[in-house]
Amino acid sequence: MSKHRLADADMVEQADSGTDSGATRRSLNPSGTDTLPAPEKPRVIAVANQKGGVGKTTTVVNLAAALALGGLKVLVIDADQQGNASSSLGFRHLAEDQLSLYEVMTEGAALRDALVQNEKIPNLWVVPASMNMAGIELELNERTNFQQILADAVHQLLNSGEHFDYIFIDSPPSLGIMTVNALVAAQEVLVPLQAEYLALEGLTQLTKTIDMLVIRLNPDLRFTGILPTMVTTNTLLGKGVLEEVRAYYGNIVMETIIPRNVALAEAPSHEESILTYQPASKGAKCYLDAAYELVSREEKS
């Protein structure tokens, strides 16, 4: 086993146990008094994985919260028909007159008119999903250029006078129309990867899809990172998968890893991110690390 693989295994042990090597651990005051550097231009990041249950929405919600608490203005676009990002950020039930992504995608409403502000983190905004999203892919399939609807809406938003440092698009656990829209609208893609071998197979399929989209629809799309999630150390499986994915994908795989953590599973039921629900938990600390690492991976123009 190589030296770097041994180091990876040590990182898994630290995340799972809550210990800290001191090399990557950082803290962020939940009051938002600590600040993160703003990107040179707005970063639009699709968080995608066609395999469900890998921590995709958890990653969107908590990275967005961490960056917003760091003083950056952040938007979450909930493109998943299940609407879990919306409910996790306090928008489980929408007002009757509240626009959602459904109206943006099907009626041409502006994203700007669908924005809602998180109560606990003022710098965090959401374009929520609604119950109408359930059959949206069938509706969009009948339209021409359906792959670019969200991209056009994001472009319009960024040219409307609204400023966001980060825009996260939470895509469905599939490679359907909404995921394609997310990948075409984004400049970057972040993939949460559960430490299981079936997840590696899904990653291969997603990589092929991204390569195809880069050629056909979005030549600016790039891989920002693969974030290992739901990592455990009570078996050799998690360590083995991490070693394999790091050996194949190299530095695309983020150094931060997200352990299985009870608080992370509980937070959505309270309609909060882990950063406001249990800011001292292992899950919160690891997502803070992931946010700092994401900031450091900005592509300089």
Structure tokens at 239: 């360590």
Instruction: Measure the CA–CA gap between 179 and 200, rounded to whole angstroms.
Output: 19
pLDDT at 192: 94
Longest dimension (CA), the chain: 59
The length of the chain is: 301
pTM, rounded to two decimals: 0.87
Residue 34: its pLDDT value, please? 65
Segments of the chain with pLDDT less than 70: 1-34, 233-238, 299-301
For 241-268, the pLDDT digits (tens) are 888 888 888 999 999 999 989 999 999 9
Predicted pLDDT at 286: 96
pLDDT of residue 71: 96
Task: Please tell me the predicted confidence (pLDDT) of residue 287.
Answer: 97
The closest of 298, 283, 185 to 231, measured between CA atoms, is: 283
Residue 272 in contact with residue 68, Cβ under 8 Å?
no
Q: Set out the domains of the chain in order of their start, with CATH numbers.
A: 3-20+37-296 (3.40.50.300)
